[in-house]
Structure 1
């Protein structure tokens, strides 16, 4: 778990802890949590003790493990009413993972980056593993390109030039004309599926996700081995669109 860059340590650790539970979806021991957070076990114990006292975490004495309480789920339950007419966004993503048999990624714009704010991992042996909190320059991923496609052309060009200007000597630079060609294709086809953008042999099929007024634009993607996504492209895309329409009414 990264700290610094304007992150208050205590707040970062609390949210990092909740994110770890979201990824693992089970009760966990102190040692496991400390390792996942990358902080001392003594600090982890103090954090868990505080959240237990406040009712956000419970302790199973027999299993010697902690898990979040329903109080955590209820904190943001009201947000689902703004997004989904049938269930939570997480339920939609789980349904999408079951239908496509691959990882489902929810991304949002964060400055000149796309940030993966929620991931439902694939259960297949050969899979595309991603962690929530991963950030990539907007032109570097299919999800980021979908987010860019929602912007005016002049703004896209400014973003790409800014990324290139701020890039370190060893970082990849993005060709403005090539990026704009990809954006036009996304607008024409309604989705993005450029192959092997980040990792050789792995790709993402990405779509814009309907977002209520007042929220940053989001994109959702199915990530997996490129060959598997190519073979199943039409079926995967149809399932994504069906579930978005079912849950979000669009």
Structure 2
């Protein structure tokens, strides 16, 4: 997704996000359908074929075919007055059974809204996707000077705040394998000893922070959530300008801890006890 074009479409000055395309591992049409749905989730409005094609850099002819196919299947609707497309209620109801109690009673929504209101910053939920931390939900910042974080963005586990929180749940042997794989695939040279020091620091205090590592001028404060019913590990993060996060770090961490304790029954925020191997 072209962030400069998305910035214009959204009317935002600072749009951040990145994706691991994996074009050699994904069936092209399937990947494009999911990216179309994710784009509508970011835009939160109808969009013309030409806009979807431009923002996702898809050929306009195949984009038109995909959109009309999704209308036939019931996942999109077509507005004949505006000549634009939008997602249907069927999309909104998909997946409601996953982590049912956490979703159906509004627990996650209250948690995210609470942190968002108390900090004014963007709040994200992130999960592990192979060697990446992926943002599966974003509540945008309310402060006028803000960063717009794109849902679906991915950050390396080995050099991001949400990534460090996810790595803290793993034994050191797994972390070493992830670091080696990242260095090979991304052609980077992440220092393993430094990474393990950062992970141990995260385990000790129960939260992680990263500044100016992926986005210059931007950072993340992240904290794991109690384990959910389907065993998926989810991390809560606050994203914003580095200067704002550094100045308010203690206050933001306290806000996350208090909102987790209030909204998730039985939440225990002690660092995980893992053996280094």
- Regarding TM over 0.5, the answer is yes
Q: Which runs of 5+ in 1 are unaligned?
A: none
Mapped to 2, the partners of 1:8 and 1:219 lie a distance apart of 29
Query: Equivalents in 2 of 1:3, 1:188: separation in Å?
Result: 34
Query: How far apart, CA to CA, are the structure 1 residues paired with 2:115 and 2:227?
Result: 18
Out of 4, 10, 20, the position equivalent to 2:39 is 20
Q: Select 1:229's aligned residue among 232, 237, 245.
A: 245
Q: Residue in 1 aligned with 2:125? A: 106
How many residues were matched structurally? 247
Partner of 1:204: 220
Deviates more, 1:101-110 or 1:154-163: 154-163
SS in 1 for 2:208: coil
Distance 1:84 1:227 in 2: 33
CA separation of 1:230/1:15 partners in 2, compared to 1, >3 Å: closer, same or farther? Answer: same
* Mean Cα deviation higher: 99-108 or 154-163: 154-163
- Within the candidate set 76, 82, 89, 1:63 is matched to 82
Deviation (angstroms), 1:51: 1.7
Instruction: Provide structure 2 residue ranges, at least 5 long, that are not aligned to the other structure.
Output: 2-20, 268-277
CA distance in 2, matches of 1:35, 1:99: 36
Give the conservation status (yes or no) of the 8 Å contact 1:84–1:247.
no
- Map 1:1-12 to 2 at 5 A: 2=21, 4-12=23-31
TM-score, length-scaled by structure 1 = 0.86
Q: Does 1:163 align with 2:163?
A: no
> What is the alpha-carbon root mean square deviation over aligned residues?
2.4
- Rounded to whole Å, the distance in 2 between the matches of 1:213 and 1:42 is 43
Corresponding position of 2:163: 144
Residue in 2 that maps onto 1:78: 97
Which whole-Å deviations, capped at 9, do the CAs of 1:164-200 have from their partners, x for residues lacking one?
35552xx2x2222222221122112111113322233
How far 1:213 moved relative to its partner? 4.1
Structure 2 SS opposite 1:13: helix
Shift of 1:108: 1.6
1:214 aligned counterpart, secondary structure: coil
Deviation at 1:92, TM superposition (A): 4.2
